[in-house]
Amino acid sequence: MTERIESIKIDLLISFKNHPFKERTGEEQAELMESIRTNGTLVSIIVRSSSEGKYEIISGHRRANACRDLGIHTVPAIIKELTNEEVVITMVDANLQRGNLFPSEK
């Protein structure tokens, strides 16, 4: 599996079409936005190349949305070339590490 890290324009990001996890809003998102505003994006999102020069977000939807809402035009991203099966495994693994899953996500 090849991967590289790049700074990607926010407008080139699209959500993975079968993303089963819910994005957090409210206080959690406000805290994330304040952290990004103060410290920058400390953890890269994970994406894979998609059609038309776009990138599908595998992990990091909240970070990407926070950057978009803050008017930040690029986000650090780990670009991986993954099959659909590998995408699901990566997405589940990243969200399990998050720890605070909704019961419906388990």
> pLDDT, tens digit, for every residue of 50-94?
888 899 998 898 899 999 999 999 999 999 998 888 877 887 776
Tokens matching residue 8: 């990607």
pTM: 0.79
DSSP-assigned beta bridge partners for residue 14: 56
State the Cα–Cα distance between residues 61 and 12, nearest whole angstrom: 13
Read off the pLDDT of residues 4-47 as tens digits, 9 standing for 90 and up.
899 999 999 998 776 655 566 678 889 989 999 999 999 999 99
Which of 84, 60, 105, 76 lies closest to 5, judged by CA? 76
Strands of the sheet with 45-49, listed across from one edge: 3-9, 74-80, 45-49, 55-59, 13-15
